[in-house]
Amino acid sequence: MTPPEADPTLLDGVALFAGLEPAARQAVIDHADWFSLPGGNVLFAQGEAGDALYIVLRGSLAVLRVAGDGVRRRIARIAAGEVVGEMALVSGRARSASVIAERDCEVLRLDHAGFEALVARHPQAMLGVTRQIVSRLEVMQDNPLGQPPPRPRSIALLPAGSGRDCAAMRRDLARCMRQFGTVAEIGEGEGGGRQTQWFHDIESRHDFILYQADETAGAWSRLCLRQADVCLVVVSADDAETRRRHPLEAAASQRGQAMELVMLHPADRISPDNSKAFLAGRRVALHHHVRVGVFADAARLARQVTGRAVGLVLSGGGARGFAHLGVLRAFADAGVAIDMVGGCSMGAIAAAGAAMHWDAHEAEPRFRRAFVDTNPVNDFTLPLVALTAGRRVTRRLRDAFGERRIEDLWLPYFCVSTNLTRGTLAVHRRGLLWQWLRASVAIPGIMPPWVNPKGEVFADGGVLDNLPVTPMRAFGRGPVIAVDVGEAPAFSAPGALPEETWFERLFLRRRPRMPSILQILLRAGTVKTPADRLGRSAADFFLKPPVESIDFLDWKAFDRAVELGRRHAQAELARAPASVFGR
């Protein structure tokens, strides 16, 4: 073996070999080959034959796996002190995943012969390896699509035309991150020309590292990228050159580096309006709007990048959805900041208000005007496509949200609809807000579905998932709070004649009666699906305001619903553990 120095303590931090006697550990060190692996380099690829296992001494590796759906996902991070590549070595099968250096690493390679010699002399080593394989296989089985990436610890800021504002934002970001742990801010002045060991020491002494790259493709920027778990490309939202890129951005993104976009706005910006142009051609997991100098925005970014962001998911439920406004008011009163929002149907509309940064004084009168002052779903029509024409709802949504695009909302946002063409749940994170809200509320048969330019037909998300916690979970940014107001009222018609004639129905006034077509369609479109139940159990904190007595179409129950939501959330918040709020 050829490490810089043949250090007998080299394996001290390796849990898998912790139970071995010193002689056995020395045997591993003697057999193994030491090498350094620069950030971004592939250790091995999925499907290759596996002839060795690797022990990570410094740095970290990402495990990426292509699942049955053909999409490559990151399933784990291998940190210093962990072992990787043991599965193929033991089973003789192909590599189950690709492994790539997330940053500059130092690694020990133990080949087949070395591993066999170890196990022959020290059989207990096999026990630890087997335990590790079993637990990793369990993860793969339980979570074939991969787990959310682990919380990032080292973050690189990559300025693309944002210059001094980027540095100012970094200072605020670091200040906010210090609530969660120690933060080292490293620019070229501190880190330029240092060796891997120096970075390893800094990383082990701090909870978070903020690397400040410069605007060039020089050695320092490249090093920042290699060291980072996640890279924030920072642009100025007022930059007329929306296609400006950092010179390292495209290559990093192609390499699979986790990338996010931060758009910096002046402190007095009313609403973002050009995100689409900045996002065009970029592959970013998320984008953030931050007003320079506005502490709340930096605090939100800090929660989002460190995995402490509070995500709120609001269910559909027609007029009962007004209760969401009360819930939002209770959160604001309690000082709980919501960092990301999503929802279905009426919940999607309430969530959009939160993502616009409307407070209760702004949101409640707007919703009252849109839905209460005149009934939005009574433009009944000849029922060729649906019972109502849907135009009234469309007009209300356009009045309320204008031409605002989802990507221009202050908070990361999604709404769901059901793609009837493909038979799948559609999660909308881009595009005109009113259009996707219109799709999200289109209960089949009651309101005409929405059709996109490709001819795909979209209806109410509640058909497949009325409480879309899973898409929020997929962001993997922190605790998820779910609010369900969609529990249908008791739905039965004891003694009703299933096939009463229209004459009997209209003129004989016999009781009991069949539910009306409106009630039947409403119920059919909002039946609890397995996804709803999953949503409930997948949430970290679940609220169910007592709104059963309010009819889905009882728009006049606005004040009562808001108050029920507020009181319920207020009482539940008082009981909630602090961990629910990412603290």
Residues with catalytic function: 345, 460
The site string for ligand CMP over 28-67 (x = CB under 6 A, - otherwise) reads ----------------------x------------x----
- Please tell me the distance from the alpha carbon of residue 107 to that of residue 580, in angstroms, as a whole number: 38
Q: Is 20 helix (H, G, I), strand (E, B) or coil?
A: coil
Judged by DSSP in three states, 285 sits in coil
The residue assigned the tokens 């029920």 is 564
- Residue 85 makes contact with ligand CMP by CB under 6 A: yes
Min dist. Cβ of residue 67 to ligand CMP (A)? 12
Q: What are phi and psi of 487, to 5 degrees?
A: -60, 120
Would you call 383 exposed, middle or buried from its count of C-beta atoms within 10 A (0-12, 13-18, 19+)?
A: exposed
Q: Using the rule CB under 6 A, which residue among 16, 75, 290, 348 binds ligand CMP?
A: 75
Stretch that binds ligand CMP, among 86-94, 352-360, 368-376, 393-401 (CB under 6 A): 86-94
Cα-to-chain-centroid distance, residue 272 = 21
74 belongs to the binding site for ligand CMP (CB under 6 A) = no
Nearer to ligand CMP (CB atom), residue 66 or residue 285:
66
- The closest alpha carbon to 526, from 458, 471, 467, belongs to 467
CB 581 within 8 A of CB 336: yes
Question: Among 92-100, 485-493, 506-514, 549-557, which window interacts with ligand CMP (CB under 6 A)?
Answer: 92-100
- Residue 95 contacts ligand CMP per CB under 6 A: yes
Q: Is 97 in the site for ligand CMP (CB under 6 A)?
A: yes
Does 136 sit near ligand CMP (CB under 6 A)? yes
Q: From 440, 447, 520, 525, select the one nearest 486 (Cα to Cα).
A: 525
CB closer to ligand CMP, 11 vs 302:
11
Contact 160, 167 (CB under 8 A): no
Minimum distance from residue 22 beta carbon to ligand CMP (Å): 25
Count of alpha carbons within 13 Å of 58, Cβ hemisphere only? 22
Cis check for the bond before 144: say yes or no (omega within 30 of 0). no
Closer residue to ligand CMP in complex, CB, 67/576: 67
61 with 77: CB under 8 angstroms? yes
Q: Give the three-class secondary structure for 529.
A: coil
142 versus 499: smaller Cβ distance to ligand CMP: 142
Interface segment toward ligand CMP; rule CB under 6 A; list 95-103, 362-370, 401-409, 550-558: 95-103
# residues near ligand CMP by CB under 6 A: 16
Query: Nearest 5 degrees, angle CA 492-CA 496-CA 502?
Result: 120
Which among 83-91, 318-326, 378-386, 497-505 is the span making contact with ligand CMP, rule CB under 6 A?
83-91
Shortest Å distance, C-beta 39 to ligand CMP: 18
Beta bridge partners, 460, equal 417
Give 16 or 352: the residue with its C-beta nearer to ligand CMP: 16
Contacting residues toward ligand CMP, per CB under 6 A: 50, 63, 75-76, 84-88, 95-97, 99, 136, 139-140
